[in-house]
A and B are shown apart, each in its own frame.
Chain A
Amino acid sequence: MSTAMLEEYAEREYEFGFVTDIDQEMIPPGLDESVVRLISAKKEEPEWLLEWRLKAFSHWLKMEEPQWANVKYDPIDYQKIIYYAAPKSDKDRPKSLEEVDPELLRTYEKLGIPLKEQEMLAGVAVDAVFDSVSVATTFKGKLAELGIVFCSFSEAVKNHPELVKKYLGSVVPYSDNFFATLNSAVFSDGSFVYIPKGVRCPMELSTYFRINAMNTGQFERTLIVADEGATVSYLEGCTAPMRDENQLHAAVVELVAMDDASIKYSTVQNWYPGDLETGKGGIFNFVTKRGKCEGKRSKISWTQVETGSAVTWKYPSCILKGDDSVGEFYSVALTKGWQQADTGTKMVHIGKNTTSTIISKGISAGQGQNTYRGQVKILKGAHGARNFSQCDSMLIGDRCGAHTFPYIDVNNPSARMEHEATTSKIGEDQIFYCNQRGIATEDAVSMIVNGFCREVFRELPMEFAVEAQKLLEVNLEGSVG
């Protein structure tokens, strides 16, 4: 690895760093009970939800921030965070794109995700979350015909309170962990999806999150329920503007799959990773994602491509409760500059003949630290449970680190589990071979890395697969050795 090239690589600036000035309605920074009440009141929430928030808040006060993750960051001052920010036009929500604030639309254009084009070309229904309140929801009519509910969380609370009440907190209880509890108390908005019995969602559902207002913590709450025999694929992708202050993002995603249902959840995350030279700034991404295979033969599949954020702390998990249910986790995590990622999954086998697959690919460059932390737990009743885990790490440069911490607990003799992990660097002979055939070193690295991540990329929906590959290429430019 040549130092000059590494330096060049380290100098790459965040391409999507810009701040859009739009009037925002904000609550002053700080957190106490009145803030929780205020958020709830602003969103005109029913009493039971306020109570749930307050329960979470009083529990949160008793909790301590977890220290076990293999990441280092300055302590977060929870009193300096703004817990609610909504675009001004909260009361009269736009019905279509034309009504959306033109400044907002320009922001999307800069990101290369013009809603309209996407709507037409990709056939994707987009529920765009600009900071905390959903500003545009498309394809609603088409989905409504099939009985599919795809709306912002606050809308769901108003229109489908029985569904929200039934499933909210059923996978990630309000007392789950420090960040999930904080989210439960102050969550602003998010997406809600309900697929009724036997319906196969005809299109990929997608939400673009965008953190915008200065110093605004983003507390998304996503809840996806697939009823018996339903199938849905959900896409989540993010970019964020450049800023100096650390931003906390503590989202919660809950998935519930009933008998024979299948949920596929894909994420591409490219938030601001902080200054590449000093490591200053950048997003703290502390997310709790968990899916429950409640029914028999249900399936939940997580796919993630994590390339952004200063600190990532994320373990999309599956609780395999129903017999014959299937859990999958495919992940690519790239850390460069001073990025740190502690990510992995948790597979809890409860039902009979449950199977899980874990494929994790970690790439570290610069001073990046990449950790895989995962747990496979096979409980007593999980006869015939099967797990396969593979965690590969690739190191680019001699200042980065790769770590693997798998936890494997097996309590059933008929279960079978295998775990494999390797760590390696891009072989000089591989690059030499490519050079020999007229492929520039940089292209060779990109090619090899893409090959390394192939198993994960091919799990992504088409639109995302292309984007992810490009993202990785852009991120890896200049990192050749």
Chain B
Amino acid sequence: MQAVVERSSAEKNVYVEGFKALEAEGLAESEALRSLRRRAIEGFEALGFPTPKMERWRNTNVSRIAKAQFRAAERPGEVRRESLAPHVYDGTGRMVFVDGFFVPELSTPLKLPAGVLATNLVEAKKLHGGLVESHLGHHVDFEDQAFAALNTALHRDGFFLYVPKNAVVEEPIHLLFLGTTPETAAYPRNLLVLEDNSQATIIESYVGLTEEAYLTCPVTEVSLGVNAVLDHYKVQRESLAAFHIAVQQSWQDRDSALRSHSISIGGALVRNDLNGYLDGEGVSCTLNGLYLVDGKQHVDNHMRMDHAKPNGYSHELYKGVLNGSGRAVFNGLIHVHEDAQKTDAVQSNRNLLLSKNALAHSNPQLEIFADDVRCTHGSTIGQLDDDAIFYLRSRGIGEEAARSLLTYAFASDIVERIKVESLRQDLEEYLFTRLPRGEVVRQAV
């Protein structure tokens, strides 16, 4: 027992040291933000890394991350402009972050209407300190989530968006986070604040440019004012050895709408925590997701929807294609508070198992304290329909191609919901290349 305690404190020490080093660097931050970091590292020290004994982590073991003891990168890795080409989307403004650092040379100017503030977080802390202070760390619960605490304490940079009342950002903003240096950790921190009647589209994409292991631990906080609309896309294409542990927390005021799409393709061990707090009447929240796992990949999507006020609408659809010895975990909780009458919540998880060794855990959960609600959840796990394959074969399509075609149909259901055309095309293209006999599928489609 003693040995265990010692080991776990040694595991934490690296991060506590990292925090001290960051403090010693003398970040240009207000006292309020500094004390936020201190509270967070204390929170992390108290929590330690989660273990499978904790209900929320029972299917995902992060001891590999704890043991690896990643230190934050000291400087951004070298990235040449050409190597970005496969990872950018047409018709979007771009902010590029490498190993947690903002790299202006790789970024493009954003087209912003008057009054909209969109910069990297370091800049925002200098120029709009008050705004940042009033939101940063206010939405995400870092006292209960170890990785959110780590990020809050150790984040270096990230993206800050402030859309004032009645403003609409038409061009999607693409945040590209690159992991380039092995054995390092990056803690991107994003803050998206949309005031009343405003609108914006954000794409967060995470890409690995190295084959080795590294850790990305991002936190995104979203605050939506009355009637605000945010389209949020997340594309996770980390290296196949990488760890990706993300937390997204949104807070929504009356009649606002959040449409979130999460596509998870890369990473050795991936965990996405998506928490939404529906704190006004008539709020709508749509969460769609697609995860593809193969080899020994492990993807865990944890969602929590808090319906705190009446007439809320939340709709979750997560689909997964599991191959090889891949593992997928889905855990969705809809919590309807006492006053949240007329809540309409739907949660559904569909898993397609393509191989013998793939394993899917699906735990859709409902906690309901109001009596006038409509809440449903559904979960299916299965393989491709033999009848459907037979039908395609009887029409002269080879078995392998038939399987690919059906798998494509299953997965593209989510991709088709993406509104940013360049992103959608890129992902469709990816599906073709990933599936065996993708050419046949492409022709058929």
Contacts and interface: CB of A to CB of B under 8 A. Distances in A.
A406 interface: yes
B375 A423 contact: yes
A424 interface: yes
6 contacts: A68-B55, A395-B372, A406-B379, A410-B360, A416-B381, A423-B374
A68 B365 CA distance: 15
A405 B370 contact: no
Interface of B: 55, 338, 341, 351, 353-383
Given A402-B366, A419-B362, 8 more contacts: A400-B369, A403-B368, A407-B361, A413-B358, A418-B379, A419-B380, A421-B375, A425-B373
A380 interface: yes
A411 B360 CA distance: 7
Interface in A11-63: none
A393 interface: yes
A421 B361 contact: no
A422 B378 CA distance: 9
Interface string A370-412: 0000000010100000000000010111111111111111111
Contacts of B357: 380, 411
A217 B381 CA distance: 43
A402 B361 contact: no
Contact of B338 (A398, A404, A405, A424): A398
Nearest to A390: B378
A415 interface: yes
A410 B375 CA distance: 24
Contact of A404 (B369, B370, B377): B377
B425 to A, nearest CB: 30
Given A398-B371, A401-B369, A418 B364 contact: no
Given A417-B381, A418-B380, A423-B375, A407 B367 contact: no
B367 to A, nearest CB: 5
A399 B367 CA distance: 13
A378 B361 CA distance: 10
Given A409-B360, A410-B353, A423 B376 contact: yes
Interface size class of A (residues with CB under 8 A): 35 or more
A414 interface: yes
Contacts of B371: 1, 395-398, 400, 425
Nearest to A414: B383
A391 to B, nearest CB: 9
Nearest to B386: A414
Interface in A456-476: none
Contact of A419 (B358, B364, B373): B364
B356 A413 contact: yes
B375 A405 contact: no
Contacts of A98: none
A398 B55 CA distance: 28
A421 B383 contact: no
Interface in A420-447: 420-425
A403 B334 CA distance: 9
A405 B382 contact: no
Contacts of A396: 371
A395 B368 contact: yes
B365 A410 contact: no
A408 B381 contact: yes
B365 A405 contact: yes
Contacts of A380: 356-357
Contacts of B375: 421-424
Nearest to B354: A413
A315 B328 CA distance: 26
A403 B360 contact: no
The 3 closest A-B pairs by CB, nearest first: A413-B353, A395-B371, A416-B382
